[in-house]
């Protein structure tokens, strides 16, 4: 495990690697936006602010575009990675929490145990997946990261990351990510939220809302 600096003012809602670049979606009204940051030291490279009426949420990459959810605005922003400008928007019903892309479909969470599978060209729902752990519904699914046919998911208000089969919705493993911050850091930090997979190193960067650090880790099955 390696610890790296992270902007402790960033209310992290989405975390995504792309070709050695790291992108982060920031939440909170008046503070939302997308940053491109140096994955090695956390330094800011580019910043795209959202309007004060928007609350940024989950983030993923489809081709040359960033897709950023909003919490209760019902809008997903489509951002050109090169120009770092919003070039299109799609609409959806309900709340937006987490988002990831498996190379074919988008997977979106809304804080329940449901993941909607969506067409990336239109954001239209293709089907719904209900996430269960040993047959029991899993609530409060938050940030998502797609890796092959696996979805890694933060569970809101916990230090738990779930490994989910993207076809059945069954939980395959539970990952305990507690104890990363010091006790002093934990007093001012918010919840764990942010999973970015680095295909080159086959490791993950994880962080949280208002965390002063991000951590390069590999996952082991804990239960």
Per-residue pLDDT of the chain (223 residues; tens, 9 = 90+): 899 999 999 999 999 999 899 999 999 999 999 999 999 999 999 999 999 999 999 999 999 999 999 999 999 999 999 999 999 999 999 999 999 999 999 999 999 999 999 999 999 999 999 999 999 999 999 999 999 999 999 999 999 999 999 999 999 999 999 999 999 999 999 999 999 999 999 999 999 999 999 999 999 755 4
pLDDT in the model for residue 220? 76
Overall number of domains in the chain: 1
**127 occurs within a structural domain:** yes
Distance CA 69, CA 90 (A): 9
What CA–CA distance (Å, rounded) separates 58 from 221? 25
Residue 177: the pLDDT is 94
In whole angstroms, what is the distance from residue 172 CA to residue 165 CA?
Answer: 7
What's residue 221's pLDDT? 53
Specify if 207 maps to a domain: yes
Nearest CA to 149 out of 135, 132, 170 is that of 170
In a domain, 222, yes or no: no
| Position 203 in a domain | yes
Decide if 159 contacts 178 (C-beta within 8 A).
Answer: yes
Q: Is the pTM of this model over 0.85?
A: yes
Residue 223 lies in a domain: no
Residue 191 lies in a domain: yes
Task: Examine residue 163 and state whether it is found in any structural domain, yes or no.
Answer: yes
What's the confidence (pLDDT) of residue 126?
A: 98
Does a structural domain hold residue 82? yes
**Structural domain of 114:** 2-217
- pLDDT value, residue 223: 47
The closest of 26, 124, 121 to 65, measured between CA atoms, is 121
Q: What is the CATH number of the domain that holds 111?
A: 2.130.10.10
Return the pLDDT at 1. Answer: 87
**DSSP label of 156:** T
């Amino acid at each position: 495990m390696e610890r790296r600096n992270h902007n402790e003012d960033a209310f992290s809602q989405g975390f995504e690697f792309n070709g050695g670049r790291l992108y982060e979606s920031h939440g909170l009204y008046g503070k939302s936006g997308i940053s491109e940051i140096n994955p090695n030291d956390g330094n800011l490279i580019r910043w795209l602010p959202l309007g004060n009426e928007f609350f940024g949420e989950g983030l993923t990459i489809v081709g040359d575009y960033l897709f950023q959810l909003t919490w209760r605005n019902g809008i997903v922003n489509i951002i050109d990675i090169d120009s770092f400008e919003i070039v299109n928007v799609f609409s959806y019903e309900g709340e937006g929490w987490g988002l990831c892309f498996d190379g074919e479909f988008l997977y979106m969470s809304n804080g329940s145990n449901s993941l909607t599978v969506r067409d990336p060209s239109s954001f239209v729902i293709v089907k719904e997946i209900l996430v269960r752990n040993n047959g029991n519904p899993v609530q409060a699914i938050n940030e998502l990261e797609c890796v092959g046919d696996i979805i890694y998911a933060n569970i809101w208000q916990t230090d738990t990351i779930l490994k989910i089969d993207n076809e059945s919705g069954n939980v395959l493993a539970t990952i305990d990510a507690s104890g990363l911050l010091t006790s002093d850091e934990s007093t001012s930090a918010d919840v764990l939220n942010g999973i970015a997979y680095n295909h080159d190193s086959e490791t993950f960067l994880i962080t949280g809302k208002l965390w002063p650090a991000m951590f390069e880790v590999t996952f082991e099955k804990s239960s």
